[in-house]
Amino acid sequence: MTVADLPKIELHHHLEGAAPPEFIRALAAKKKINLDGVFDAKGHYSYPDFLGFLQCYTDATAALSTPEDYYDLTRAVLAESAENNVIYCETFLATEFCGDGDLVAWREYLSAIQQAATEAEAKDGIILRGIMTAVRHFSPEANRKAAICGAETAGDFLTGFGLAGDENSGAFADYKYEFDMAKEAGLRLTAHAGEWGGARAVRDAITDLNVERIGHGVGAIEDADLMRELVDRGTVLEVCPGSNVALRVVNRWEDHPIARLREAGVLVTVSTDDPPFFHTTMNHEYEMLEQVFGWDEATLRATNITAAKAAFCDDATRAQLLKKIGE
Ligand code: HPA
Ligand code: ZN
């Protein structure tokens, strides 16, 4: 079996960030929206650094303005994931892009995304769940609305609440109200931390927001005590090595701490984050892990078992995933 054939679970994925550039370009052309600066001469997303990436990402979403656009986006993105043998994906959603925090509008976007997911599941067997996301560089009002919309629509499809965006903007504790509201509504919690903010950020996310998973979390490698704490708590890291290389969190794949974290007993999983922005796919991530760190089929399968156990889904779905992975 090659790594391409392995059934994969992806826990860290942004829906707009997975939009194929040609999909966004076609939509923008149809609506006569100018996206100068979003793409380079080869038609790839183009940005100079992390903050530039966040801006490019937001600029590209100008093409996405209706629930129908999100239906088409979800179908396009899931077709790509299914080609990589992804059997289950959790995608981050943001109300700011989907009706600007208005609950009635959000329900329409969510319903369109869910419809696309249902059809993709019937066609390719891929299962999608959504994680409502507060975004650190958006306004406190926008993030409060994200929590309200998330709490109001928590259910079988929308199962999680997260925090993304510029990790250097504000403190984790600033989002405690939103995270408490989400938890009370039954949403499971994750936050981007330790992508840029080091071990300190990972500790703050666990302490201040009571999250069970951490987005990225690679900064934990700096702190042996924290790594032991992550092991003891069973906190799962949603690691996105290709993203970290593309955004220069680390300089080269060889420098990436995923193998060292795993050897220390930390529960790691593998995701793409924003695949076309980082010129990656799930197959590519797995090929690099095999080439650079010598991860064999058993190791990659074990990583997927960790992901299935940490997935924000119901137990019947989890059992189905574990069976497909071959546990
Ligand atoms: N980090 C923070 N925010 C994001 C990312 C990321 O990698 N991708 C999309 N939003
Ligand atoms: Zn992310």
For the cut 80, the answer to whether the pLDDT of residue 235 exceeds it is yes
Instruction: Tell which one of 49, 195, 214, 278 to mutate to probe ligand 1, the residue whose CB is within 8 A of the most ligand atoms.
Output: 195
Which pLDDT belongs to residue 318? 98
Q: Are 114 and 78 in contact (CB under 8 A)?
A: no
Does residue 86 have its Cβ closer than 6 Å to ligand 1?
A: no
The reply to whether 85 falls in a domain is yes
What is the number of the ligand closest to the CA of 135? 1
Ligand index nearest the alpha carbon of residue 247:
1
Q: Does some domain include residue 99?
A: yes
Is 36 a domain residue?
yes
Which one of the ligands is nearest to 136 CA? 1
Q: Which atom from ligand 1 is nearest to the alpha carbon of 216?
A: 7
pLDDT at residue 231 tops 90: yes
List beta partners, residue 9. Answer: 88
Contact 9, 267 (CB under 8 A): no
* Cβ proximity of 203 and 226 under 8 Å: yes
Residue % of the chain over a pLDDT of 90? 98
Per-residue pLDDT at 158: 98
Whole-angstrom distance, CA of residue 63 vs CA of residue 169: 26
Query: For 269-317, how does the pLDDT look when each residue is reduced to its tens digit (9 = 90+)?
Result: 999 999 999 999 999 999 999 999 999 999 999 999 999 999 999 999 9
Report the sign of the C-alpha dihedral through residues 60, 64, 70, 72, in that order: negative
Is residue 116 one of the residues assigned to a domain? yes
Rounded mean pLDDT of 244-273? 98
Q: Let me know if residue 172 belongs to a domain.
A: yes
Q: What is the pTM of this model?
A: 0.98
The pLDDT of residue 327 is 72
Side-chain-side CA neighbours of 120 within 13 Å: the count stands at 27
pLDDT of residue 95: 96
The CATH number of residue 102's host domain is: 3.20.20.140
Asked if residue 192 has its Cβ within 6 Å of ligand 1, the reply is: yes
What is the distance in A from the centroid of ligand 1 to the CA of 168?
12
Could you report the per-residue pLDDT of 123-174, keeping only the tens digit for each?
A: 999 999 999 999 999 999 999 999 999 999 999 999 999 999 999 889 999 9
Q: Report which protein residue has its CA nearest ligand 1's atom 4.
A: 165
Ligand 1 centre and the CA of 106: distance in Å?
A: 21
Total of domains in the chain: 1
Task: Tell whether 1 is covered by a domain.
Answer: no
CB 304, CB 273: distance < 8 Å: no
Mean pLDDT (the chain) is 97
Domain span at 79: 7-325
Q: For a ligand 1 pocket test, name from 11, 53, 169, 237 the mutation site with the most ligand atoms within 8 angstroms of its C-beta.
A: 53
Q: What is the pLDDT of residue 1?
A: 80
Assigned domain for 2 exists: no
86 pLDDT band, cuts 50/70/90, is very high
Average pLDDT of span 54-82:
98
Rounded-to-integer distance, Cα 148 and Cα 75, Å:
27
Domain annotation covers residue 264: yes
